[in-house]
Structure 1
Amino acid sequence: MTAAYLEEAVSMMDAAFFRHETVSRCLGLPNDTAALAELKQLTTAAAKDGVSVIAIDKTTNKVIGAAFNKLQVKDDTAFANFANSWKQKRAKAIVKFMAEVDSLYNFFDKCGVDCLLEFMFVGTLPAYRKKGVAKKLCEASIEIGKDLARGVNVKRSVDGRKLRLEPVPKIITAIFSCEATKVIGKKLGFKVVVEEKFEEYEFEGRNFASVVGDEISTFTLEYRDLK
């Protein structure tokens, strides 16, 4: 991710992720333009960590996919506080959902780390799916994490700030909410630590299972070492 492509990549995620991803649909995000506008703040903030990745169609120079990755540090509440400043309930709800799922397995304590790299949002434009783009985005993100873990500062600033090497992640984590991403996780050596049924979650009285139907029954919380 570079400054030149940041705005396009943030806008692209509206069509590539928030209008199609399972939890986003369960929360009704595709039809909530105000919430989608607030979520652009979230993706932009994540990109400022300098560890996000984009995929570009070389024939058009168009951003067709992205992995917005976030460096999470133990006991840092800045990101949660950021979301708490929003007004839109659906925007707040997706951050709350991610926080609740993350709380099911304390990576910092269980893995003995003080920093991790999180796949926050990974999306590919519909016309470019089933071509291996999402897997490549995840592979590139893992390589960034490995470089940082080795002490090589490959962070790329998107706002002109100089980014220090620290904090250095030791693991990479993800919530996989569709079968395609679960397959990618398995291929890339991720370990499932939590698997939850969608029927155990609801928003405004509507059970998630009533939205996903037979499409998928569970989502997973997974991780792998950056070695």
Structure 2
Amino acid sequence: MVKFTTDGKYRIESLSSATLPGALKIINDHFFQDESVCMGTEVNKNPLAMEELLELCADAALDGMSLVAVSNDSDEVVSAMFNKLQEVPIEGSEKTFFETFAEERCKQASSRALVDLMVEFDTRCNFYERYNVDCGCEFMFLGSHRHHRQKHLGELLCRTAVEQARKIKNVPVTPLTIQDLGPKYSFMKPRNPVTRVPKICTALCSAIGTQKIVRSLGFTVVATFSLKDCIFNGKPFSERGVTTFCEAVTKRID
């Protein structure tokens, strides 16, 4: 699956073992530094927390749903979108993917706080019960190189992600393997692939640009959360310059 921008300068393609390092660099150097919750939880100042969240990206990549935008001039990744297939736990006591990751693999307070906030917002929205579905595709992290913003790459990535999730029941994606992630993540344990078909796409959008993108794609705003009063390490996010809000959005694709 490859798409090109109208000017031919960029292409959108599925994340692969070859593009994973570049995609992780985009998230590390541009998303973690500029995104509101990353600033509010001081992930942007904590290299160890960033490493833990890059591991989260690598784990999500195993689903085969993540995408990248590549510059045709340099052949470098300039925008990355990590998506996670989410299944509703069969047993009521079973934890979700993000809950398990936070408890077992987030050792830094900053990374734990960020994932915990994702879990809290997801729980308050209750997407799956609200729409009576058992599987969805969550748009997890979306970041672009600062020199390649305002090129509509985020919009094209989101649009492609919706199309991919909608077609998965007829055109299954190819999951990545632990080996595809490279030596750095060889310690990770293989997990069973998601077998259910996503019926909704969901996202927690903290950037105004992303909020505009998903609205243009027909997503519904389920809830709006103020970020300025969220607390980390005894201080509200507003004291770290975060005064924005997060929109929880969803779109049916079945």
**1:77 and 1:141 mapped to 2: Cα distance?**
22
Q: Which amino acid aligns with 2:127?
A: F
> 2:194 and 2:46 mapped to 1: Cα distance?
37
1:1-227 equivalence runs, <5 A: 1-75=15-89, 76-85=95-104, 86-148=106-168, 150-159=169-178, 166-212=195-241, 216-227=243-254
Task: Spell out, residue by residue over 1:134-163, the C-alpha distance to the aligned partner (whole angstroms, 9 max, x if none).
Answer: 111111111111111x432133425468x9
State the distance in 2 between where 1:201 and 1:165 align: 33
Q: Provide, for residues 83-140 of structure 1, a one-character-per-residue CA deviation record: whole Å limited to 9, x for no partner.
A: 2222111011110010001011111111010000000000101110011011111111
Distance (whole Å) between structure 2 residues aligned to residue 153 and residue 164 of structure 1: 12
Deviation at 1:77, TM superposition (A): 2.7
Count of matched residue pairs:
224
C-alpha distance in structure 2 between counterparts of 1:174 and 1:139, whole Å: 13
> 1:14 Cα shift?
0.4
Rate the CA distance shift 1:189–1:182 in 2: closer, same or farther, 3 A. same
Deviation at residue 66 of structure 1 after TM alignment: 0.8
CA distance in 2, matches of 1:114, 1:45: 21
User: For residues 66 and 19 of structure 1, do their structure 2 counterparts lie closer, same or farther at Cα, with a shift above 3 Å needed?
Assistant: same
Within 2, Cα distance between the matches of 1:83 and 1:44?
A: 15
Inter-partner Cα distance in structure 2 for 1:164 and 1:43: 16
State the shift of 1:197 in Å.
1.3
**Counterpart Cα distance in 1 of 2:197 and 2:239:** 40
* SS of residue in 2 equivalent to 1:45: helix
Once residues 86 and 229 of structure 2 are traced to their aligned partners in structure 1, the CA distance between those partners, rounded to angstroms, is: 26
Distance in 2 (alpha carbons) for counterparts of 1:172 and 1:77: 16
**Please, which runs of 5 or more residues in structure 2 have no aligned partner?**
1-14, 90-94, 181-189
Alpha-carbon separation, structure 1, partners of 2:61 and 2:71? 20
Structure 2 Cα separation of the partners of residues 97 and 143 of structure 1 = 28
Please, what TM-score do these two structures have when normalized by structure 1?
Answer: 0.92
In structure 1, stretches of 5+ residues that fail to align are none
Query: Identity across aligned pairs (percent)?
Result: 31
Letter in 1 for 2:251: R
Instruction: Give, in angstroms, the shift of residue 69 of structure 1.
Output: 0.0
Runs of 4+ in 1 over 6 A off after TM superposition: none
Per-residue deviation, 1:165: 7.4
Change (3 A) 1:101 1:164: closer
